[in-house]
């Protein structure tokens, strides 16, 4: 039986696409492979996965060129202890970054944004661990809303923050493109089995 291996980073939920794929292609087994953001490009370069659902940015040119289909944007949120002032903020109004200038950022933000106050040297950690540290009141973490929901705890809150959204995309090696790859692209883009590319 032929198989298609699709890696995905935490917070991305490929279930609906997997169901559509299995209905459309019962003879091609779909393997879903969870991977960390730090390895999202490597799973393609090392041949572990055929396609990957990633969180941009990803190097699309090196070591080999990738196809990239942007799928959707994720809103950024600040995660803090329930005792933190952000807990009192309106859930619909993003918190200005200036309001977070005196905070300790537990996990570096991909954009490079850092509060203006001198930062403590937190060790490298996973998002789950960073949210646990935020729960203790030692700092804040800014992540896509999907990750805040994935690692939700009763002792933290998350609120929208004024940062650009992150983008989830489907990527695969240009040299490995095939009709099977293109069929999966059709699934994630919502094309019906009968429609043409």
User: What's the whole-number mean pLDDT along residues 152-174?
Assistant: 96
Beta strands in 65-140 (DSSP E): 66-74, 76-81
Q: Which domains does the chain have, with CATH numbers?
A: 2-73+166-188 (3.40.190.10), 76-160 (3.40.190.10)
Q: Is 149 left (phi over 0), alpha (psi -120 to 50) or beta?
A: alpha
User: What's the whole-number mean pLDDT along residues 48-65?
Assistant: 96
Instruction: Encode pLDDT of 105-150 as tens digits.
Output: 999 998 889 999 999 999 999 999 999 999 999 999 999 999 999 9
User: In the prediction, which pLDDT does 92 show?
Assistant: 85
The one-character DSSP state at 192 is: -
Beta strands in the chain (DSSP E): 2-8, 28-34, 51-55, 66-74, 76-81, 141-144, 156-160, 166-173
Angle CA 179–197–51, to nearest 5: 45
User: What's the whole-number mean pLDDT along residues 156-175?
Assistant: 96
Residue 102: pLDDT over 90:
yes
User: In the prediction, which pLDDT does 64 show?
Assistant: 95
Mean pLDDT of the chain: 93
The one-character DSSP state at 27 is: T
Q: Residue 30's pLDDT band (boundaries 50, 70, 90)? A: very high
Q: Residue 1's pLDDT band (boundaries 50, 70, 90)? A: low
Single pTM value for the model = 0.88
Q: Residue 193's pLDDT band (boundaries 50, 70, 90)? A: low
Pairwise CA distance, residues 91 & 49, whole Å: 38
Residue 129, H or E segment: helix 127-135
Report the range of poorest mean pLDDT among 30-39, 41-50, 89-98: 89-98
Q: With the C-alpha atoms ordered 93, 98, 104, 105, is the resulting torsion angle positive or negative?
A: positive
Characterize 151-168 residue by residue with b for buried, 16 or more Cβ atoms within 10 angstroms of its Cβ, and e for exposed: beeeebbbbbbebeebbb
User: In the prediction, which pLDDT does 196 show?
Assistant: 43
Among 68, 66, 73, which Cα is nearest to 144's? 73
């Amino acid at each position: 039986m032929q198989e298609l291996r699709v890696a995905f980073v935490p917070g991305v939920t490929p279930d609906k696409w997997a169901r559509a794929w299995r209905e459309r292609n019962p003879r091609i087994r779909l393997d879903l492979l969870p991977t960390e953001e730090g390895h999202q490009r490597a799973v393609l370069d090392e041949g572990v996965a055929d396609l990957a659902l990633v969180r941009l940015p990803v190097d699309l040119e090196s070591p080999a060129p990738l196809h990239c289909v942007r799928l959707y944007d994720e809103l950024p949120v600040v995660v803090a202890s329930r005792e933190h002032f952000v807990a009192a903020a309106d859930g619909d109004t993003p918190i200005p970054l200036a309001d977070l200038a005196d905070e300790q950022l537990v996990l570096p933000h991909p954009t490079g944004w850092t509060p203006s106050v001198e930062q403590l040297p937190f060790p490298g950690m996973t998002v789950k661990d960073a949210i646990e540290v935020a729960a203790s009141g030692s700092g804040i973490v800014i992540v896509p809303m999907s990750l805040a929901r994935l690692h939700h705890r009763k002792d933290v809150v998350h609120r929208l923050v004024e940062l650009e959204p992150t983008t989830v995309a489907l990527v695969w090696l240009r040299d490995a493109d095939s009709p099977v790859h293109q069929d999966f692209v059709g699934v994630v883009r919502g094309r019906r089995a009968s429609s043409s590319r």
